[in-house]
Amino acid sequence: MDALNTVWDTFFDLDAMRAALPDMLRVGLPNTLILALFSALIGTVLGMVLAVCGLSQRRWLRWPARLWTDVFRGLPAAVTILLIGVGLAPLGLGIWGPNPYPLGILALSLIASAYIGEIFRSGIQSVDTGQLEAARALGFSRPSGMRLVVIPQGVRRVLPALVNQFIALIKESSLVYFLGLLASQRDLFRIGQDAAANTGNQSALVLAGLFYLLITVPLTHVVNAIDRRLREGRRADGAAAEEPGAATDPAPSTQLAISQEPR
Partner 1 sequence: MTQQTRARRTGSPTSGVGVATRDVHLSFGSNHVLRGVDLDVPAASTACVIGPSGSGKSTLLRVVNRLLEPDSGDVLLDGRSVLGDDPDVLRQRVGMVFQHFNLFPHKTVRANITLGLTRLKGLSKDEASERALVHLDRVGLAHKADVRPGNLSGGQQQRVAIARALAMEPEVMLFDEATSALDPELVKGVLATMADLASEGMTMLVVTHEMGFARSVAQQVLFMDHGRVVEAGEPGAVFEAPRTERLQRFLSQVL
Footprint of partner 1 (CB under 8 A): 128, 130-131, 133-141, 144, 148-149, 152-153, 156, 233, 236-238, 240-243, 246-247, 249-263
First CA to last CA distance, the chain: 93
**Nearest residue (CB) to partner 1, 222 versus 230:** 230
**Nearest residue (CB) to partner 1, 153 versus 164:** 153
**Nearest residue (CB) to partner 1, 33 versus 230:** 230
Beta carbon of residue 255, minimum distance to partner 1 (angstroms, whole number): 6
Beta carbon of residue 236, minimum distance to partner 1 (angstroms, whole number): 6
**Nearest residue (CB) to partner 1, 91 versus 247:** 247
Tell me which DSSP letter residue 26 carries. I
Beta carbon of residue 160, minimum distance to partner 1 (angstroms, whole number): 16
The answer to whether 41 and 112 are in contact (CB under 8 A) is: no
Measure the CA–CA gap between 84 and 53, rounded to whole angstroms.
Answer: 24
The answer to whether 11 and 202 are in contact (CB under 8 A) is: yes
**Nearest residue (CB) to partner 1, 40 versus 162:** 162
* Three-class secondary structure of residue 3 per DSSP: helix
Amino acid at 258: I
CA–CA–CA angle 246, 251, 254 (5° rounding): 150
Measure the CA–CA gap between 80 and 150, rounded to whole angstroms.
Answer: 33
For 47, how many CA atoms within 13 A lie in the half-sphere containing its CB? 29
Beta carbon of residue 228, minimum distance to partner 1 (angstroms, whole number): 17
Tell me which DSSP letter residue 127 carries. S
Beta carbon of residue 154, minimum distance to partner 1 (angstroms, whole number): 10
Amino acid at 200: G
Beta carbon of residue 261, minimum distance to partner 1 (angstroms, whole number): 6
**Nearest residue (CB) to partner 1, 129 versus 184:** 129
For 10, 38, 97, 195, 229, the CA distances from 192, given in Å and listed in that order, are: 13, 22, 26, 5, 37
